[in-house]
């Protein structure tokens, strides 16, 4: 039974929220959100406390998929450097796809000025985890200063995603990978 079942109101809501917040920005209204999800406002407000909570939940639900994007099919068969470079290769590939508007977690951090917004916490966590991933690989790769290298790589990642997402830069000539490679070289990661 459960296999053929239609998506639950909760799932439809989170799907629509993920898409609308990403393409239209965080100022999308509750009315439009519910209309797109095919869910009544009544149902939305008994599933979530507020519009903020919907945004936070929609960001959180996509975290596993977002992070799985960056891992190689067979991580064991690759070097730390290759695993790091893969992140930037994936970013460059994603950035040229139609409808790409940059990393949604960075966008939320920039758009939401309110430091108490629950969605900020989710976005912040995703960024901390990406840095941790870089740091672990940097250590394993023998970087001179793994913590510094990790922060540098996130800098490049976010800069590339913000600029490509807002349409002022193109990554399809390998800008991000070349920059990451230069930093890996400088840090002594072979």
Partner DNA sequence: CCGGTGGTATACCGATCGGTTTCCCAATCT
Partner DNA sequence: AGATTGGGAAACCGATCGGTATACCACCGG
Which of a copy of itself, DNA, none sits in contact with 43, Cβ below 5 to 8 A by type?
Answer: DNA
The residues, any chain, with a CB within 8 Å of residue 49's CB and separated by 6 or more, are: none
Q: Which stretch binds a copy of itself (CB under 8 A): 37-45, 74-82, 91-99, 158-166?
A: 158-166
The residues, any chain, with a CB within 8 Å of residue 95's CB and separated by 6 or more, are: 160, 161, 164, 165, 170, 171, 172
127 near a copy of itself (CB under 8 A): yes
Q: At closest approach, how far in Å is the CB of 184 from a copy of itself?
A: 10
CA distance 171 to 158: 13
Q: Which is nearer to DNA, 6 or 68 (CB)?
A: 6
Place of tokens 């994603």: 94
State residue 186 phi and psi, 5-degree precision: -65, -30
Q: Which is nearer to DNA, 48 or 157 (CB)?
A: 48
Which of a copy of itself, DNA, none sits in contact with 32, Cβ below 5 to 8 A by type?
Answer: DNA
Nearest by Cα to 54 from 93, 15, 111: 15
How many residues make up the chain in this entry?
190
Which of a copy of itself, DNA, none sits in contact with 111, Cβ below 5 to 8 A by type?
Answer: a copy of itself
> CA torsion angle for 123, 129, 133, 139 (degrees, to 10)?
130
Which of DNA, a copy of itself, none sits in contact with 113, Cβ below 5 to 8 A by type?
Answer: a copy of itself
Q: Which is nearer to a copy of itself, 79 or 166 (CB)?
A: 166
Q: By CB under 8 A, name the binding residues for a copy of itself.
A: 23-25, 27, 101-102, 106-107, 109-111, 113, 115, 124, 127-128, 148, 151-152, 154-160, 162-163, 165-169, 175-176, 178-179, 182-183, 185-186
């Amino acid at each position: 039974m459960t296999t053929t079942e239609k998506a639950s109101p909760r799932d439809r809501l989170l799907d629509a929220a993920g898409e609308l917040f990403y393409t239209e920005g965080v100022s999308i209204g509750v009315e439009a959100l519910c209309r797109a999800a095919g869910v009544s406002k009544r149902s939305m407000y008994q599933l979530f406390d507020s519009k903020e909570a919907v945004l936070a939940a929609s960001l959180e639900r996509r975290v596993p998929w977002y992070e799985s994007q960056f891992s190689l099919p067979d991580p064991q068969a690759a070097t730390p450097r290759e695993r790091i470079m893969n992140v930037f290769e994936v970013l460059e590939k994603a950035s040229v796809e139609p409808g790409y508007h940059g990393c949604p977690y960075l966008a939320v951090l920039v758009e939401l000025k309110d430091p108490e917004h629950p969605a900020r916490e989710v976005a912040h966590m995703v960024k901390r985890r990406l840095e941790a991933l870089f740091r672990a690989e940097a250590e394993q790769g023998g970087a001179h200063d793994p913590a510094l290298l990790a922060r540098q790589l996130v800098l490049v990642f976010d800069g590339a995603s913000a600029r490509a997402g807002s349409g002022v830069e193109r990554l399809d000539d390998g800008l991000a990978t070349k920059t990451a490679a230069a930093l890996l070289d400088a840090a002594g990661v072979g």
